[in-house]
Structure 1
Amino acid sequence: MQQLRNNQLTTAYSIKEPAAEGLHPYSLRQLVLYFLKLGTIGFGGPVALVGYMHRDLVDDRKWISEEDYKEGLALSQLAPGPLAAQLSIYIGYVHYRILGATLAGLAFVLPSFFIVLALGAAYIQFNGLPWMQAVFYGVGAAVIGIIAIGSYKLTSKSLGKDWLLWAIFLVLAVTTFITENENIWLILLAGFIVWFYRTRPKLNSQVNSVLLSPVLLGIGTFWLDGKLSQIALFFFKAGAFVFGSGLAIVPFLYGGVVKDFGWLNEQQFLDAVAVAMITPGPVVITVGFIGYLVAGVPGACVAALATFLPCYLFTILPAPYFKKYGKHPAIKAFVDGVTAAAIGAIAGAVIVLAKRQFIDFPSVLIGVVTAIVLFRYKKLPEPLVILVAALIGLIIRLWV
């Protein structure tokens, strides 16, 4: 009898264990390698990067469910900090919790950080990089085409035929285009509108809700010199209090770096933004380039860490509540509304960027041709498109 019982336990264990091992369709190592690759070759800024994650992890590999992706996008849009980096952290959290979130975020950010460090060293060595503007001319135009296609795919996939979601999308796209700023209050309002419309809550009923109030976290005393302490505090505020994706942080950086502290002049700051746009990974990584120009490698490390620490905390702290309550009808309705608003804001940002980037007929042609080619040849790698656009930009601006 004891032997039979042992055999039953052994059989039950042997059946259960492979199921547990195969619970997730990917390993943590595979996820980290994916984000290392995306951080190395992912051009186009936050709009393109979140589109790549959806295409690769939801549509193609099916590692992440559509619901988990939408929850991550909604949380990333609600919290301050860089959108794409927050989404990578949340995706890492989905199946591998704190360790996955930490490793995914680091893998996504570090490649572009090392690239901007190298560019910062070259910038100092050669007293500026005049070729950057020529490269950015071609790359920037191609990026508009890339993010336009990414926004189109994200829109058609997430909104479906829901008229209310489309209405929210259009309102946020128009307001973002007119104001050239993502309004966090409109995004929150969109979530409440869909929640109220779908669930019809009674005013006297008890509603269990998840309160996503940002927790203000202070920085302890740094054993750093005065300038590094200033850098840490300034960039921590930039990461903790600036909402919106990618370029939304640029006006805040300009006010502090150029106007308040005088760390960089106008041209140096513009070059820093150009570096962010012509390098892969999150646009916010320009903080590493700025930090390097101000205080060398220590300045770059402190600036990057201070900027990305808040977005990491604002992602992993509310993530358990999103995972636990995200399937509740009221929460799901709220997330759907926020997602539609976020995608509308992204679409509006595409138009704003296009208005600034398309300065002449060749730039318009580069952007349009890029969009057509990527729409026609869906498997064409974006880095190849970026390389061709960079070469065209150099030819047009330097030799024509």
Structure 2
Amino acid sequence: MYVSAPSVPFADAARVWARIGILSFGGPAAQIALMHRVLVDERKWVGEAQFLHALNFCMLLPGPEAQQLATYVGWLLHGVRGGLVAGLLFILPGMLVMLGLSVLYVTLGQVPAVEGLLFGLKAAVLVVVAEALERVGRRALGSGVARLLAVLAFAALFLFGVPFPVVVLAAGLIGYMAGRRGSTLFARAPGDAALDETPRRSSPFAILSLAVLWLAPLGLLWLLLPGSVYAEIARFFSWLAVITFGGAYAVLSYMTDVVVGSFGWMRPGEMMDALGLAETTPGPLILVTQFVGFVAAWREGGGSIGAGILGALLTTWVTFAPCFLWIFAGAPYVERLRGNRALASALAAITAAVVGVIANLGIWFGVHFLFARTVRLDAGPFDAALPDWASLDVAALALTALLGVIAWRWKVGIGWLLLIGIGLGLAVQAVL
């Protein structure tokens, strides 16, 4: 049973959410740990069971779970206005930093010092992705069936070019059917949680307003600027916001295929730069989409910084508006969702497939960072980019290996690893 939310002055809550937003470096695990320490241990605004209950619900949703957790707790304390303030303050510091970095990137990207910085960031990002693969795999692959599903997901993406949403939907369907049949291959049946007798409810007007605010720009852009980069940004990133199960790492490979291969908005090296910059900012890692929107609009607008800023703000809006909608619409029914055996099994199967998705992302980044050229395997059902081994960048390989040893031997955090990577990258650039 939930305990009653304490009477927390709204202004005090806003200050705490601003503090959390500024300090939320290190990815979702570090961000969730920070919120737990501040909200549960220090402030005692929510209980342990409430916090974990909210986190479990957020893990079911597409989008960044840490930002949605902040929104959920804010909603629990002060309703819709509390959720809006908590979620927005979690995003705002990172959004402003990423916007500034995007401007610096397109204006100073060819400066040797900046190239060295990005070189070190790319090597560190490869190590971070490898760590994420190991961490998620250890948690998600508890059975031989789950491991097989991860391998099949990787093969479908890397070898056969199957679209990311198809892989996720197929995994979810397999898990759902298994759960419906009573199988525990993917997840044990969740325990029956006590329902809150007086749950907080969201205003239907607030939910409808959020839906309109999210979808109205899409309709207006398609009516007023059909075929423009802004219309494509609004459409694509709104779609991405609906399918981002498994976190930012899981969706990055799909996003990269589309924005690099289909739209031509980005170059392969720029996507690695984008992830490296996103790792250095507070807030959710999915803010990497803001960088993509900036560069896409900047490039299509003939190098206009104003066009890039508009693209970045539009991308951020359509990426995060649905996150608030999911919380305000679904939170009152969270207990029913958690008690559903088939749903729990479907989400566990998706999590297993996500391990294969992250592996595909790591291979993609590794191939494009460590090798100057790739060769296309396009024979029969196969569709994959393989490395040209003659183009191996020895310096990139050595730096990545060194950072990997540092990460695993001394267990340094993401922030320190990125700083070490930047320093070593600048040193390599100075030598070469």
Alpha-carbon distance change, 126 to 284 in structure 1, aligned in 2, over 3 angstroms: closer
Aligned to 1:189: 170
Aligned to 1:167: 148
SS for the counterpart of 2:397 is helix
Matches within 5 A, 1:234-313: 234-242=232-240, 243=243, 245-246=251-252, 248-253=254-259, 274-275=273-274, 277-279=276-278, 280=281, 281=285, 282-287=287-292, 289-290=294-295, 291=297, 293-295=305-307, 297-298=309-310, 300-313=312-325
Deviation at 1:199, TM superposition (A): 4.0
Counterparts of 1:313 and 1:129, CA distance in 2: 42
Counterparts of 1:18 and 1:321, CA distance in 2: 17
Aligned to 1:377: 410
Aligned to 1:367: 400
SS for the counterpart of 1:21 is coil
Counterparts of 1:375 and 1:276, CA distance in 2: 21
Deviation at 1:387, TM superposition (A): 1.8
Counterparts of 1:106 and 1:233, CA distance in 2: 24
Counterparts of 1:237 and 1:193, CA distance in 2: 29
Alpha-carbon distance change, 148 to 66 in structure 1, aligned in 2, over 3 angstroms: farther
Deviation at 1:36, TM superposition (A): 3.0
Deviation at 1:367, TM superposition (A): 2.3
Counterparts of 2:321 and 2:399, CA distance in 1: 37
Cα displacement string for residues 236-272 of structure 1 (whole angstroms, at most 9, x for unaligned residues): 212112355235334544589767xxxxxx78x9658
Matches within 5 A, 1:3-14: none
Counterparts of 1:284 and 1:385, CA distance in 2: 22
Alpha-carbon distance change, 195 to 230 in structure 1, aligned in 2, over 3 angstroms: closer
Matches within 5 A, 1:1-400: 20-21=5-6, 30=16, 33-38=19-24, 41-42=25-26, 49-53=27-31, 69=55, 71-76=57-62, 83=63, 86-97=64-75, 98-99=80-81, 101-122=83-104, 129=111, 131-159=113-141, 161-179=142-160, 183-200=164-181, 218-219=215-216, 230=228, 232-242=230-240, 243=243, 245-246=251-252, 248-253=254-259, 274-275=273-274, 277-279=276-278, 280=281, 281=285, 282-287=287-292, 289-290=294-295, 291=297, 293-295=305-307, 297-298=309-310, 300-313=312-325, 316-318=328-330, 320-359=332-371, 360-378=393-411, 380-400=412-432
- Amino acid in the other structure paired with 2:231: L
- Percent identity of equivalent pairs: 17
Q: Which TM-score applies when normalising by structure 2?
A: 0.63
Q: 1 or 2 for the larger relative contact order (CA 8 Å, sep ≥6)?
A: 1
Counterparts of 2:52 and 2:160, CA distance in 1: 30
- Amino acid in the other structure paired with 1:274: D
Deviation at 1:188, TM superposition (A): 2.4
Cα displacement string for residues 268-307 of structure 1 (whole angstroms, at most 9, x for unaligned residues): x965873553343431120463356252655543443244
Q: Is the 8 A contact 1:169 1:343 kept in 2?
A: yes
Q: Is the 8 A contact 1:91 1:101 kept in 2?
A: no
SS for the counterpart of 1:75 is coil
Deviation at 1:33, TM superposition (A): 3.2
- Amino acid in the other structure paired with 2:130: A
Q: Is the 8 A contact 1:180 1:349 kept in 2?
A: no
Counterparts of 1:229 and 1:109, CA distance in 2: 29
Tell me which moved more, 147-156 or 51-60: 51-60
Deviation at 1:198, TM superposition (A): 4.0
Counterparts of 1:51 and 1:358, CA distance in 2: 28
Alpha-carbon distance change, 310 to 52 in structure 1, aligned in 2, over 3 angstroms: same
Counterparts of 1:28 and 1:164, CA distance in 2: 45
Counterparts of 1:368 and 1:391, CA distance in 2: 15
Give structure 2 stretches of 5+ with no counterpart: 42-47, 184-210, 245-250, 299-304, 372-392
Deviation at 1:184, TM superposition (A): 2.0
Counterparts of 1:111 and 1:256, CA distance in 2: 31
Counterparts of 1:326 and 1:294, CA distance in 2: 45
Counterparts of 1:323 and 1:393, CA distance in 2: 49
- Amino acid in the other structure paired with 1:87: E
SS for the counterpart of 1:218 is helix
Counterparts of 1:178 and 1:59, CA distance in 2: 43
Q: Is the 8 A contact 2:122 2:272 kept in 1?
A: no
Q: Is the 8 A contact 1:117 1:288 kept in 2?
A: no
